[in-house]
Amino acid sequence: FCEFSSSSCMYKTLERYRSYNYKECEANAPLETEDNYQQYLKLKTKVEYLQSTQRNLLGKDLGPLGMRDLEQLENQVEISLKNIRSTKNQMILDQLFDLRRKEQLLQEANKGLKKKLQEVGSECVPQLSWHTDTAGPSGSTSHTEPELGLLQSLESVPPQTGYHQAYIDQLNNEQITQHANGDLQGWI
């Protein structure tokens, strides 16, 4: 028992282990080297073939090819085109499906918002009309309330850019009044 735990015996045991493993590796090394070399040759041949095929598919080095090779090349090109078109169509269909799903979600959200808007009532709806009533004692103007709901009135009014004509008329009237009174403090 003491023999296995002493440092000299442990050293000898490790040396025997190393020498055994090293001899085994040396015996297997030529076989592995030969296998690796054979695999290298196969891969090299395959790479050369694939590079040649790629050049042929790109329209290069077609001179030495016979009729049969050209027909095979044409078939490969046609099959590749079919695969590309199929993949492209599938991607477009997937995108279309996703967009339709998003459209449905947005329509459902829109319905929910319309319902909430109708529940709130017309008194809480922001004013959309540019028409003005008579000016109050403070000089401010009050807007008329739209008779239709917010969404209905937005659908019936075409979009406009710039200022509404009633607003421009109001600004012009204020400018004329200020010039007549000689009062330009509002602008300064």
pLDDT tens digits, 121-139: 765 545 555 554 444 444 5
Instruction: Choose the weakest-confidence range: 22-26, 147-151, 174-178.
Output: 147-151
User: Is 90 exceeded by the pLDDT of residue 101?
Assistant: yes
Report how far residue 98's alpha carbon sits from residue 92's, in angstroms, rounded to the nearest whole number. Answer: 10
DSSP annotation of 61: S
Instruction: List the structure tokens of 175.
Output: 């400018």
Domain ranges of the chain: 2-61, 65-120, 127-181
**Residues 9 and 3 sit within 8 Å (Cβ to Cβ):** yes
Task: Kindly report the pTM of this predicted structure.
Answer: 0.38
Per-residue pLDDT averaged across 143-153, rounded?
A: 49
Average pLDDT over residues 114-122: 85
> Which stretches of 15-149 are assigned E, i.e. beta strand?
132-135, 141-143
Residues 155 and 161: beta-carbon distance below 8 Å = no
Average pLDDT along the chain: 73
Contacts (Cβ under 8 Å, ≥6 apart) of 178: 184, 186, 187
CA distance 34 to 159: 80
Distances (CA, A) of 141 to 53, 112, 150, 170, 174: 81, 34, 21, 10, 13
pLDDT digits (tens, 9 = 90+) for 9-32: 666 777 777 777 766 666 666 777
Average pLDDT over every residue of 157-185: 58
pLDDT of residue 88: 96
**Residue predicted with more confidence, 14 or 38:** 38
Query: Rounded distance, CA 152 to CA 117, Å?
Result: 11
List the structure tokens of 93. 């269909």
* Residue corresponding to tokens 């709806």: 125
**CA 87 and chain centroid, separation:** 18
- d(CA 72, CA 56) in angstroms, rounded, equals 11
Residue in the block written with tokens 């009532």: 121
